[in-house]
Amino acid sequence: MAGRLSFSNIAALAPMVRVGTLPMRLLALDYGADVVYSEELIDLKMVQCQRLVNEVLETVDFVASDGRVMFRTCAQERNRVVFQMGTADPERALAVAQLVEKDVAAVDVNMGCPKEYSTKGGMGAALLLDPDKIEAILTKLVSGVSIPVTCKIRILPTVEETIGLVRRIEKTGVSAVAIHGRFKEERPRHPVHCDYIQAVAQHASVPVIANGGSLDLVKTYTDIDAFKKATGASSVMLARAAMWNASVFRQEGLLPVEEVMEQYLKYAIRYDNNPFNTKYCLCQMLRDKVESPLGKQVQSAQTNEEISAAFKLQDFFTQTQQHHQERRDALQSGDNPERLVMDGDVTTMPVKFERREYPPQITPKMYLLEWSRKEKLEQPLYETVEHSSDRTFQSTVVLNGKKYRSSLWEKSKKFAEQAAAIVYLRVHGIPEGKIGEEESDLVCKRKRENKTNGSAGEDARKKLHLDNGTQEEGDVQLTLQNSAFTDVKTKHLESS
């Protein structure tokens, strides 16, 4: 199909746990990699994720139920990033693939990692012992998504067994097979078995991607072609050679690792990478210099700002933070046109909840609750997430099987819920209770009476207004409790 990612004659960044996050993937692309793989992400975590558009960073974030950003991607890599998952279940694998399908170029199943975190539950190299399950997972994926599906395996005890497995795999309709040329019990110190990969490549009908040559065979860009010829493979995938110095993909030759580290750090700052992940990747690049003065400074750092100081990039860090704040302020301003944008299955609109625009005892959430009762619908459900780096919140309201959310982040959980309610009300042309708005029968009788209760009511309204809606929210919560409404669950976001 036109526009689909090709796996023939490519040099790819291999999937590496804790390494293949967005900064490293973008760095590899800059230096010449044709395709980049994400780190392995486990289906049980990913299937619980919520897809969120991060308008400040201009990324798409997949946020797990425990609050972590499990996968972050951006437009720069959209057509060349492969999402790798760890799975042992066809249905879960498909659910994850469909979740990320619109944001990646292909999906890959890890069938080669021998580490316990991957093999437990029958994932990773454990799948090599269950070819029926391999076939079931890949068949389900190929038939269920519109993007290419690939897998990554290790060699089996004999060449014949390895060829037999690949033949079963290619019958599922996958677009390529990556082969790590070591047995599952072997580790990087063992030599790669190029002859096994070569034998498979001679019999395969799909592109074979050779992997495992970093220790002995691939040191520079010219070695990539030599490794491809030694294995007879269509393409090459690099892990540790790229982790140590991503400029290995650069046709003009390797750059000093210090320069590569600086460029990596700039991406980490630009995309608010988790500082502990940033430290880990920088230490892998430092290798035997990790105990140098620079290495010790990196290891002791706790934030990206402190890491920046080690590389004398404080000005870049400050400028980037200012740029992020300017974007945040622009998005939070009232100047944005109220345009509808579909974010997956969520209807979004740039809306802010301004408390001063509503009477003290009236809120959009109250109007939405009353409207749902009038229409005999299930009551609204709110799910709120927090962005920990700046303590802002974003809420999604679910009503009548549809989801609505403001694309702007609010200063509190309560305000985020109110903004979500506003989006639903405005999309459906329902009154929201603003000052100056024509009175609606959606306002409950008790609230209407409070509104005309004279000076006592005026004093109460002033107190409520000063409390920024705290008491009013208590009233709403009481109403919801009396109606057996499910409590809102708040999730905490961390930058990945």
Tokens 């000093």 sit at which residue? 256
Neighbours of 73 (CB within 10 A): 21
Rounded distance, CA 467 to CA 387, Å?
A: 24
Rounded distance, CA 440 to CA 296, Å?
A: 65
Catalytic position from the list 49, 113, 151, 281: 113
Is the Cβ–Cβ distance between 188 and 240 less than 8 Å? Answer: yes
Rounded distance, CA 13 to CA 333, Å?
A: 40
Strands (E), 97-194: 106-111, 149-154, 176-180
Give me the sheet containing 341-343, strands edge to edge. Answer: 341-343, 346-349, 402-406, 392-399, 381-387, 489-493
Catalytic residue check, 113 = yes
Rounded distance, CA 346 to CA 405, Å?
A: 7
In single-letter form, the type of residue at position 24 comes to M
Rounded distance, CA 422 to CA 349, Å?
A: 9
The residue among 7, 66, 67, 4 whose CA lies nearest residue 37 is 7
Is the Cβ–Cβ distance between 341 and 407 less than 8 Å? Answer: yes
Is the Cβ–Cβ distance between 167 and 127 less than 8 Å? Answer: no
Query: Environment class of residue 467 by beta-carbon count within 10 Å: exposed (0-12), middle (13-18) or buried (19+)?
Result: middle
Rounded distance, CA 227 to CA 376, Å?
A: 67
Neighbours of 428 (CB within 10 A): 13
- Residues 6+ positions from 422 with CB-CB distance below 8 Å: 351, 353, 364, 406, 432
Structure-token pair, residue 330? 């622009």
106: alpha, beta or left? (left if phi > 0; alpha if psi -120 to 50): beta
The residue among 246, 193, 189 whose CA lies nearest residue 25 is 246
- Which residues are tagged catalytic? 113
